[in-house]
Amino acid sequence: MEQSFAGKTAVVTGAASGIGYTVAHHLAERGARIVGVDLGERVVELMAGLPGLGHHGIVRDLTDPAAAGDVFAEIVERVGTPHILVNSAGIALLDPATDVPAERWKATIDVNLSASFYMAQAAGRLMIEAGYGRIVNLASQAAVIGLDQHAAYCASKAAIVGLTHVLSLEWARRGVTVNAVSPTVVETPLGKAAWAGEKGEKAKAEIPVGRFAQPEEVAALIAFLASDAAAMITGENVLIDGGFTTV
């Protein structure tokens, strides 16, 4: 179903790359005003170049617990309460479990879990007040299955699903839905780096559809969950994995 996001403001984290940028572009093409947040300074130029008017980029490290409050204060001042939050900022640092250095464990949890929580919490406060909100968190197939060398990543993504469950039930009566999306490998800079070479070819062969996902396929699912039409879907973790976790 084709959605219109005219009159909606969407905050997208990790908007300077991969899924985040593709979601920002997809929603902008359908009428949304986008606020993209990323560590990378290129987010400013990329958001300014999206289709339509009124988009802007904010450069910020979202692992700073103060960042979410600052970001939403700036958004409210510039464009009012946002309607949509997509938490796509994430990292994948791979190590055998016996060798995960504490700083790489902490970095993974800080970005993938804590930053998503801080952003959802700050967004949720505003959305509850407004009586409307759509929050979509990027989890992963790694949230529901174990993957070699993914101890920190799998733990962070399983926790995102747990967080999604809690936020969804606390905010369901307030017009705010909270869902997670769990892709298999997506052909973005992160996906290509984590699944390069022979390992990637083997993984691809194990996916029933025989290929990795494209960012636009994931963006289309996120857009549906972020739309008015998805009001009855909350607390879900929607797999988009070509059947991988069913085999």
Ligand X SMILES: NC(=O)c1ccc[n+]([C@@H]2O[C@H](COP(=O)([O-])OP(=O)(O)OC[C@H]3O[C@@H](n4cnc5c(N)ncnc54)[C@H](O)[C@@H]3O)[C@@H](O)[C@H]2O)c1
Single residue of 89, 152, 154, 230 touching ligand X by CB under 6 A: 89
> Near ligand X by CB under 6 A, which window of 38-46, 98-106, 203-211, 223-231?
38-46
In whole angstroms, the minimum distance from the beta carbon of 229 to ligand X comes to 23
Size of interface with ligand X, in residues (CB under 6 A): 30
146 near ligand X, rule: CB under 6 A: no
Shortest CA distance to 177 belongs to which of 242, 233, 98, 119?
233
Closest CB to ligand X among residues 8, 157: 157
Closest CB to ligand X among residues 92, 127: 92
In whole angstroms, the minimum distance from the beta carbon of 174 to ligand X comes to 26
90 near ligand X, rule: CB under 6 A: yes
> Near ligand X by CB under 6 A, which window of 11-19, 96-104, 172-180, 219-227?
11-19
Q: Which one of the listed residues 21, 118, 132, 153 is annotated catalytic? A: 153
- Each residue 190-219 as x (binds ligand X by CB under 6 A) or -, in order, gives xx----------------------------
108 near ligand X, rule: CB under 6 A: no
Closest CB to ligand X among residues 104, 174: 104
> Backbone dihedral region of 37: left (phi > 0), alpha (psi from -120 to 50 degrees) or beta?
beta
Single residue of 32, 62, 151, 180 touching ligand X by CB under 6 A: 62
133 near ligand X, rule: CB under 6 A: no
Catalytic site includes residue 153: yes
For the chain, the DSSP string reads -----TT-EEEEETTTSHHHHHHHHHHHHTT-EEEEEESSTHHHHHHHTSSSS--EEEE--TTSTTHHHHHHHHHHHHH-S-SEEEE-------B-GGG--HHHHHHHIIIIIIIHHHHHHHHHHHHHHHT-EEEEEE--GGGTS--TTBHHHHHHHHHHHHHHHHHHHHHGGGTEEEEEEEES-BSSHHHHHHT-HHHHHHHHHHSTTSSPBPHHHHHHHHHHHTSGGGTT--S-EEEESTTGGG-
What are the residues binding ligand X (CB under 6 A)? 13-14, 16-20, 38-40, 61-63, 88-92, 111-112, 115, 138, 140, 183, 185-186, 188-191
